[in-house]
Amino acid sequence: EVVLTQSPGTLSLSPGERATLSCRASQSVGSSYLAWYQQKPGQAPRLLIYGASSRATGIPDRFSGSGSGTDFTLTISRLEPEDFAVYYCQQYGSSLYTFGQGTKLEIK
Partner 1 sequence: QVPLQESGPGLVKPSETLSLTCSVSGGSIRSRNYWSWIRQPPGKGLEWIGYIYYSGRTNYNPSLKSRVTISVDTSKNQFSLKLSSVTAADTAVYYCARVDTAMGWEFDYWGQGTLVTVSS
Binding site for partner 1 (CB under 8 A): 1, 30, 32-35, 37, 43-47, 50-51, 54, 56, 88, 90, 92, 95-102
Q: Rounded to the nearest 5°, which phi and psi values hold at 31?
A: -60, -30
Nearer to partner 1, 62 or 104 (CB): 104
Q: How far apart are CA 28 and CA 5, in angstroms?
A: 13
For residues 65 and 74, the answer to whether their CB atoms sit within 8 Å is: yes
Q: CB 65 → partner 1: shortest distance, Å? A: 11
Nearer to partner 1, 16 or 96 (CB): 96
Integer-rounded Cα radius of gyration of the chain: 13
Q: CB 14 → partner 1: shortest distance, Å? A: 25
For residues 87 and 74, the answer to whether their CB atoms sit within 8 Å is: yes
Nearer to partner 1, 84 or 88 (CB): 88
